[in-house]
Every structure is written in structure tokens, then in C-alpha cells.
Amino acid sequence: MVKTRRKGTRRNGVISGIKKWPSGRIPYVISGQYSERERAVLARSFQEYHRRTCVRFVARTPLDRDYLYIGKIDGCFSDVGRAGGRQELSLDDGCMQYDTAIHELMHSVGFYHEHERWDRDNHITILWQNIDKDAYDQFGKVDMSESSYYGQMYDYFSIMHYDSLAFSKNGFETMIARRPEMTAVIGSAIDFSPIDILKMNLMYQCGNRRAIKEEELLVPSIPAPIPPVDFSKDECVDKTNLCWRWLDRCSSFFFEKIMKEFCARSCGFCTPKPFVFAKTAV
């Protein structure tokens, strides 16, 4: 999720040198709130940036005025790019998974969501009638004059793309892909896409990188859908027939509330009824 200092225009990758981190060096301080396991998630996330890009997350020194403070602040959010001074990146208890961590860190590197590109209407359709009004700013559109996609095509596989049920107020989809087979793909990434890596390397001039052609992408197989079981006669029911597609969101901080309301049965949020023993004659 993006923490914005003002509502309005959005960028996919920042252009201004002021918002980039000099030489791709990002100082950080990690809150003492994290357990050993949670610190291991952060360490793995940093390591993958170091392995695949020239961006470097380094422990803050007294000379570093601008730095990330990573803590359990309020959900999952980050500023985009270098904000100046101490800037907060929140990874709360429900956010401590590798995919969420690299997503928020990529915001801090300098990237907005893929579905906020200025050309996104050529690739997805936003269904505003299904979006929680408090989340409208998560679906803003970029300012073309300030954005750069580094010559890359729209990336349905990006770790920076929300899924089609994000911030739904009624259990129905909030965005669909213009290529129907891609609706199930968006928001399903658990790691960087090839284009995510390429754009970061281009932003920070990590070396000569050519644009990826669509036919060169390895498209992951999409499992055949399994229709949901009809629990309509049970008191604890799913309120949408899409739950079987979103089971990985049941424990997500972003989606827990909506999943409890619309997919209680599939997610296992139902309270089991106490077993009543039948009385027997003595």
C-alpha cells in the first residue's frame, strides 16, 4: 500500500533525482518489535534486492540523514522513493510475508503500483462501483509528465499489481484485465517479475539492460478453477462465488476484513457449533 503525502497524481517509477536514493543506497533502521523469524523475512527480502539489482539496503550510520524506519506502525505501507529525513515503512503483524515485504520495499525504492500507470485503461478496467470509497486513492492514475515505465510493457505479473478483489466493498471484483485470462493473474505474484527487476535496474542505472519482449516472458501456468461448494443451507456461508480464487488472502492484513465478511466459510472463520450429545434412557 502507498502512503501518500498528498492525494492526486501518481507515478509508476519516479523520474525526479530528488526522490531517488543516491547510488541506490538505502539506509534503514529496524524496530526492535520484530521477532527472529520476522527479521529473517526482512533479511531475505534485502538479499533478493542485492542479488538481482544494484539497490543496496544498508544499516543506517550517524551520517545518514535520509533513511527508512521499518516498524509495526499501522498495517502495510510505505512512502514512494526518498521522502527525506526519517520515513516510515510499516510491516505490521499481518504483513510479515516475503511477497508483502518486497512489495513495500519496492515502493521505497521508487515505484507506485502497476495498476496506477497512466496507460492502465488500455490493459485493465477499474470497477469503481465495487471499491470501498475510503480506498479510491489506491486506484489513482499516474501523471504522464512525471512517470517513466522505462520502455516496458504493462506488467500483469508485477509484484506491484493489486489483485482483482482488492478493497472490494461487496465481494465483487474491483478491477478486471482486458485480456480475460489475466484477471486471475493480477495480484497473484509471490516474487518479482522479470520486468520489476529490469525497471529497477534501469532506474538506478545498474548496467545496460534491454527491454523485455512479451514473448520472452515465462508465463506461469494457471490452474484450472475448482468451483465452490454450495453451502447455502448452512448458517455460515460464503457471500460470493469467488472465494475459491482468493484463499491465499484469508490471512492477509489487506484482505482479512473483506474475507471474513464474504468468505467466512472458505477461510475457516466460522465458529464451530458445540456438539450436543443425545440423551439416552437409563
Active site residues: 104
Residue whose C-alpha cell reads 488500455 in the numeric block: 122
Q: Which amino acid is at 97?
A: Q
Residue whose C-alpha cell reads 534501469 in the numeric block: 202
Cα separation, 157 vs 182, in Å, equals 9
As given in the structure block, the three cell numbers for residue 245 are 480464487
> What are the CA-CA distances from residue 2 to residues 111, 197, 237 (Å)?
10, 20, 33
Q: Which residues are annotated as a binding site for Zn(2+)?
A: 103, 107, 113
> What are the CA-CA distances from residue 275 to residues 32, 236, 271, 272, 278 (Å)?
44, 16, 12, 9, 10
As given in the structure block, the three cell numbers for residue 39 are 527479521
Is residue 2 helix, strand or coil?
A: strand
